[in-house]
Amino acid sequence: MAKVWFVGAGPGDPELITVKGRNLIEKADAILFAGSLVSEAAMGWAKPGCRVMDSKGMDLEQIVSWLIEQAQGDAVVVRLQTGDPGLYGALIEMVQPLDEQSIEVGVVPGVSSAMASAAAGVESLTLPEVTQTVILTRVEGRTPMPAGESLPELAQHHCTLCLFLSITLLKKVQADLLAAGWSDQAPVLVVHKASWPGEERIIRGTLADIRDKCRAEKINSQAMIIVSPTLGSRDWPEIKKSKLYDKNFSHRFRKAANKS
């Protein structure tokens, strides 16, 4: 029976795809990849005779029609998407028509650009007693945000914010965070094409100057914005350390050294 797999290609570096994702590419009979965001190098794993199509010029109906057309007999069809299919990936919009055709579907998760950007900057998105919460969101642009999810509302938590699809709206990011009580000296990390070999760029600044720095570097697409109280902690003279590795903290694999 044919099956359509939605595979997360990861943030850009072909080596950051999962082993399962690569295995599916190797045995796929047809692959539809998001060429504007997914490295074409991943297509090098496809077997001879595999039907490969770039979807960057296709609309939703064309994408779905292609997947349905390829899903015949015992075909293995891969829709290769950037990052993780469940995050800003239009997954459900594509799955519903396949369900209507009784075509089996599977999903393989991928590394998000949020995680790749933190890795690029050698940053931790959480730290004990600083923040234990990460919000993955975007700034309202042409697509409206649901009630209660505006950036000023979310930013009031003063936790880590990973902002997708928002690099052209940095002026609004600045205004919204300042309105939520963030300091104009709050650190900001912007990573353009996180993990892309030879193309990754890292911009560090503050709320006050990050927009000017990104404009100077002509960063206007494919960039992750991270605003967090944890940024720069690598250089802090002292941090609260994790209880998990504290010799005086017990868990089921280790007894506390000072336990009486």
Q: How far is it, in rounded angstroms, from Cα 256 to Cα 260? A: 9
Cβ-proximal residues to 200 (8 Å cutoff; 6+ apart), any chain: 12, 120, 191, 192, 193, 194
Cβ-proximal residues to 22 (8 Å cutoff; 6+ apart), any chain: 42, 45
Confidence of residue 176 (pLDDT cuts 50, 70, 90): very high
CATH architecture of 3-108: 3-Layer(aba) Sandwich (3.40)
Q: Is residue 81 a contact partner of residue 10, using CB atoms and an 8 Å limit?
A: no
Measured CA to CA in angstroms, residue 104 lies from 7, 55, 259 at distances of: 14, 21, 54
pLDDT, position 241: 76
Q: Which of the pair, 115 or 255, is modelled with greater confidence? A: 115
Task: For 87-246, list the strands marked E by DSSP.
Answer: 104-108, 134-138, 160-164, 187-192, 201-206, 223-227
What pLDDT, in 10s, does the model give residues 115-132?
999 999 999 999 999 999
Q: Which of the pair, 188 or 244, is modelled with greater confidence? A: 188
Q: How far is it, in rounded angstroms, from Cα 253 to Cα 245? A: 11
pLDDT at 50 over 60: yes
Residues of the chain with CATH 3.40.1010.10: 3-108
What pLDDT, in 10s, does the model give residues 98-112?
999 999 999 999 999
CATH topology for 113-235 is: 3.30.950
pLDDT at 70 over 80: yes
Residues of the chain with CATH 3.30.950.10: 113-235
Give residue 135's Cα distance to chain centre: 12
Q: Which residues pair with 8 in a beta bridge?
A: 81
pLDDT, position 255: 74
pLDDT at 252 over 70: no
What is the chain's alpha carbon radius of gyration, rounded to the nearest angstrom? 21
pTM value > 0.85? yes
Q: Is residue 80 a contact partner of residue 33, using CB atoms and an 8 Å limit?
A: yes
pLDDT at 223 over 70: yes
Confidence of residue 248 (pLDDT cuts 50, 70, 90): low
Confidence of residue 66 (pLDDT cuts 50, 70, 90): very high
Give residue 251's Cα distance to chain centre: 32
Strands 160-164 and 223-227: antiparallel
pLDDT, averaged across the chain: 93
What pLDDT, in 10s, does the model give residues 8-46?
999 999 999 999 999 999 999 999 998 878 888 888 999
Average of per-residue pLDDT across 61-78: 96
Question: Residue 72: helix, strand or coil by DSSP?
Answer: coil
